[in-house]
């Protein structure tokens, strides 16, 4: 297999550039990086923090799914062209998305009330991102 002269030059330039960069890398910089966390500290500081972050993720995913379903229903409604069956299906999809949004809001309210009743810090809920 024959490689053209321009490709050989490009490979040579790339190899020389990479070699020059690696030759000038400072070993002192690598010794200052500490990748081990302090003892006793992890990604989650407590069980409450873990649950809070999981609930954050679930709520964000739920909201994104509801809004994408709402947008999809709106697009189907706009592109239905006045056909009764397609318009009705799109209207049902929009109604389902609005009901889903109400359910998400109600679950957030119930979660906040339950956490306040249990005496946990409700200000930390949904503020970790």
pLDDT digits (tens, 9 = 90+) for 61-97: 999 999 999 999 999 999 988 899 999 999 999 999 9
* CA–CA gap between residue 73 and residue 104 (Å, rounded): 18
Greater model confidence, 30 or 4: 4
φ and ψ at residue 16, rounded to 5 degrees: -65, -40
pLDDT digits (tens, 9 = 90+) for 32-65: 555 555 555 566 666 777 777 788 788 889 999 9
In which domain, by residue range, is 120 found? 47-124
Number of domains in the chain: 1
pLDDT digits (tens, 9 = 90+) for 10-34: 666 556 555 554 555 555 555 555 5
Look at residue 75 and tell me if it is in a domain: yes
Look at residue 34 and tell me if it is in a domain: no
* CA–CA gap between residue 122 and residue 79 (Å, rounded): 43
Look at residue 6 and tell me if it is in a domain: no
Look at residue 22 and tell me if it is in a domain: no
pTM: predicted TM-score of the whole model, two decimal places: 0.56
pLDDT, position 92 = 94
pLDDT, position 38 = 56
pLDDT, position 59 = 86
Residue 3 burial (10 A CB sphere; 0-12, 13-18, 19+): exposed
């Amino acid at each position: 297999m024959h490689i053209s002269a321009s490709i050989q030059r490009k490979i040579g330039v790339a190899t020389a550039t990479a070699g020059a960069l690696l030759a000038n890398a400072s070993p002192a910089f690598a010794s200052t990086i500490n990748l081990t966390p302090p003892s006793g500290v992890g990604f989650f500081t407590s069980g409450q923090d873990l649950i809070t972050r999981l609930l954050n993720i679930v709520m964000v995913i739920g909201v994104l799914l509801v809004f994408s379903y709402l947008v999809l229903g709106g697009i189907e409604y706009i592109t239905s062209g006045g056909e009764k069956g397609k318009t009705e299906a799109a209207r049902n999809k929009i109604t389902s998305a609005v009901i889903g949004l109400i359910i998400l809001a109600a679950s957030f309210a119930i979660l906040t009330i339950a956490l306040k009743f249990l005496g946990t810090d409700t200000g930390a809920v949904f503020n970790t991102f």
